[in-house]
Amino acid sequence: MGMIKDKPSGNGHVADIEKALRRISGNIKQKGREILNQYKITPPQFVALQWLLDYGDMTVGDLAGRMYLACSTTTDLVDRMEKANFVVRIRDGNDRRVVRVHLLEEGERIIEEVIVKRQDYLNELLIHFDESERLTFERLLNKLQQEMNEE
């Protein structure tokens, strides 16, 4: 099995950057799961609740599309979240045939608590960076995200 060679670019080695981002992403994902285990919520439920918090009420079909899940899978997910009092289904005021998933206070509370714990974890790591490094790191991450969004 051969090694993947670094392909130098004008700003460093792309393979090294990709590997670092992959490892960072994996570490954050693992820590996020550890935090979620403190609550009665699964990673897919957390993602769904985040979408609802960020974008407001949406149909199961819209939520399924954003999460890249089948509608049947998303329906089961919403059923479990509804039983846990994280969300409720409500009829659309303009079209009674349309049912929207609405985030409840308990779902919002869990999202906010989990996000604060994730931020605390990140802050523990970034404490080793001086203010200039933090600002540069944030600026470069935002620039990378902007490039990805423009694709």
Q: Could you tell me the CATH number of the domain that includes residue 36?
A: 1.10.10.10
**What is the per-residue pLDDT across 52-78, written as a single tens digit (0 to 9) for each?**
999 999 999 999 999 999 999 999 999
State the average pLDDT for the chain: 92
* Sequential DSSP letters for the chain: -PPPPP-EETTEEHHHHHHHHHHHHHHHHHHHHHHHTTTT--HHHHHHHHHHHHH--B-HHHHHHHHT--HHHHHHHHHHHHHTTSEEEEE-SS-TT-EEEEE-HHHHHHHHHHHHHHHHHHHHHHTTS-HHHHHHHHHHHHHHHHHHHT-
Which pLDDT does position 40 carry in this prediction?
Answer: 86
User: What is the domain extent for residue 127?
Assistant: 12-145
Task: Answer yes or no: is 7 within a domain.
Answer: no
- Band of residue 124 on the pLDDT scale cut at 50, 70, 90: very high
Task: Answer yes or no: is 150 within a domain.
Answer: no
- Band of residue 7 on the pLDDT scale cut at 50, 70, 90: low
Domain count, the chain: 1
Task: Answer yes or no: is 21 within a domain.
Answer: yes
Whether 22 has a pLDDT exceeding 90, the answer reads yes
Task: Answer yes or no: is 98 within a domain.
Answer: yes
Mean predicted confidence (pLDDT) in 32-58: 95
Task: Answer yes or no: is 29 within a domain.
Answer: yes
